[in-house]
Structure 1
Amino acid sequence: MTANQYQVTGMTCGHCEMSIREEVSAIAGVEDIQVSAQTGKLVVTGADSVQDADILAAVAEAGYSAVRAS
């Protein structure tokens, strides 16, 4: 299991968080999702097979943009 952190732009409320959580949770291997509109952070914990590109695409599908935080 690995945990990766992303900075998401455009989130303003709980509905935003729910939309991102719904899209990212559909990715195979994702175990846990922590998302905060207040901080703009998304932390995804899952199998090593979960790719950044898949997470970023899921965030985009929800209508937001994200970058991997270092």
Structure 2
Amino acid sequence: MSGIFWWIRQVIFTLAGCFFLAFGIILLISAYQLKDPFWFIMTFFASNLIILISAALLVGFIVQMVSKGKGLNRY
């Protein structure tokens, strides 16, 4: 894949990861405003799963960009 398209793709994926991380945090905050315990538990664990997955993907994308920027070319 061409160099510039790789960077554009990585930046888009990183922005999407940031969006879902922020969405998970907002969902976690809104879970504490729920009155029903069942909906609180379901929303709490769903938001934590969204945060966990998006943070892991975000770290992976950033590591790839940093290693490519330093010229390590592992990926």
Task: Mark yes or no: TM-score above 0.5.
Answer: no
Higher relative contact order (CA 8 A, sep 6+): 1
Classify the TM-score, shorter chain: under 0.3
Structure with max Cα Rg? 2
TM-score, length-scaled by structure 2: 0.26
